[in-house]
Structure 1
Amino acid sequence: MDLGTSIEHRGRPAVRFERVYDHPVERVWEAVATPGGLAHWFPSAVELEPHAGGKITFSGDPNLETMTGTVVTFEPPRRLAFTWGGDELHFYLEPAGDHGCRLTLVNVLERADTAARNAAGWTVCLAELDKHLAGAAAGGPHSDTALPWRQVYEAHVSSGMPSGAPIPGAPRETPDTAN
């Protein structure tokens, strides 16, 4: 399992993932930059105005309220970036080998202590993207067939990735419940 890497991106904490697919850049772009493609693996339903400065809406995530962001970069089929709450997501696509594509996902974080939590989420989501691009059934990151988020999170924490942010849907720890 590729746990991703904790990095700094333009002076902010971030987590970075890289995948190589045996598909052309245009096919991977469709999966990561269109509402229909995102529906197979992204944690929220997405509607976006396909241009820099456009509005992007996230809904249907059982752990988050509906929210909007801004498309920061829209350069088909190579770059997409948008805001999501206090975070930014950056997708970079480039040719790899004769017919493949390298996808790099960088989640620029609002706070460093969200690194393990968000990286676990992206690990689960990217496993669903891997299935989708391989032609297998991808039920999405909230499905019963997705990787178990808690185990992935614990692996990220064990690897030393910054942690401690609240986990949506989990009871908040207090000094009495932390032991």
Structure 2
Amino acid sequence: MIDIVQQVNATHRELGETPVAGGAGRSLLLRRVYDAAIEDVWDACTDPARLARWFGEVGGDFREGGAFQVKDNAGGEILRCEQPRLLKVTWVLGESMKTEVEVRLASTGDGLTTFELEHSSPAEIVDALVKEYGPGGTIGIGGGWDLTVLGLDLHLRGAAIDPATWEDTAEAKDYATRSCHAWGAAIQKAWGGTDEEIAAAVAFGVQHYAP
């Protein structure tokens, strides 16, 4: 069993604006500190054998300029790979326009590693989704990355999880549901909105993860 409240509070969440492919972009950012050396965190995020143990099966050409594909998920191109501090890829799911994911690592000097994951999308995509679904669509995306951040923590601590089934467990769904509420506060800080609007957005995100 995990301390779900502690795990939710361990992640910092925010929304901002980050250029994508030279144009305007919207981004969501997750940040947390792992009790592991930077080399270990980097290896966990880039070694296909380790990725399969907490994230999913990933195949492809693992070098800058190469392409990758996550089984039953997104694929893309490796734009930057600067061991052990920076990994930037395009992130394409289905026929949708390219988005970008950047992972940044920094050693704190005491054996800990600060991890940042930023997912940036063209502004027109995000604005269209928010217009149609409200900010809840953004919360759903953030909730998905929250599960990734938690899965990495469990892996670094030596826990055995099956990424193909773990996200469907009651524990993971409870965590994702609570993280959606945390994203509601981040969205209200970034974009404003009434309490009723944010509550509706959270409910939209939560429906993807409810047990």
**TM class by smaller structure:** 0.7 to 0.9
1:31 matched to 2:44? The reply is yes
| SS at structure 2 position matched to 1:23 | coil
Q: Output the CA distance in 1 between the equivalents of 2:107 and 2:140.
A: 30
1:5 matched to 2:14? The reply is yes
Q: Which of 142, 145, 156 pairs up with 2:167?
A: 142
Q: Give matches, 1:50-69, under 5 Å.
A: 50-61=62-73, 68-69=75-76
Write the letter of the residue equivalent to 2:180.
Answer: Y
Contact 2:27-2:120 within 8 A present in 1 as well: yes
Write the letter of the residue equivalent to 2:142.
Answer: A
Q: Output the CA distance in 2 between the equivalents of 1:40 and 1:23.
A: 17
Corresponding residue for residue 92 of structure 1 = 104
Structure that is richer in helix per residue = 2
**1:158: Cα distance to partner?**
5.6
Q: Deviations over 1:102-154 (max 9, x none)?
A: 11111112432442121111111211111111112333352414243344335
- The verdict on how the C-alpha distance between 1:151 and 1:23 changes in structure 2, with shifts beyond 3 A counting, is closer
- The verdict on how the C-alpha distance between 1:4 and 1:48 changes in structure 2, with shifts beyond 3 A counting, is farther
Q: Deviations over 1:26-58 (max 9, x none)?
A: 10011111222222332x421232222101112
**1:95: Cα distance to partner?**
1.0
- The verdict on how the C-alpha distance between 1:150 and 1:20 changes in structure 2, with shifts beyond 3 A counting, is closer
Identity of aligned residues (%): 25
Structure 1: state its 5+ residue gaps. Answer: 62-66, 171-179
Q: Give matches, 1:39-118, under 5 Å.
A: 39-42=52-55, 44-61=56-73, 68-85=75-92, 86-110=98-122, 111-112=125-126, 113=130, 114-118=137-141
Corresponding residue for residue 134 of structure 2 = none
| SS at structure 1 position matched to 2:53 | coil
**1:157: Cα distance to partner?**
3.5
CA RMSD between the two structures: 2.7
Contact 1:3-1:120 within 8 A present in 2 as well: no
Structure that is richer in strand per residue = 1
- The verdict on how the C-alpha distance between 1:156 and 1:139 changes in structure 2, with shifts beyond 3 A counting, is same
Contact 1:50-1:74 within 8 A present in 2 as well: no
| SS at structure 1 position matched to 2:63 | coil
1:130 matched to 2:137? The reply is no
Q: Output the CA distance in 1 between the equivalents of 2:90 and 2:53.
A: 20
| SS at structure 2 position matched to 1:142 | helix
- The verdict on how the C-alpha distance between 1:158 and 1:79 changes in structure 2, with shifts beyond 3 A counting, is closer
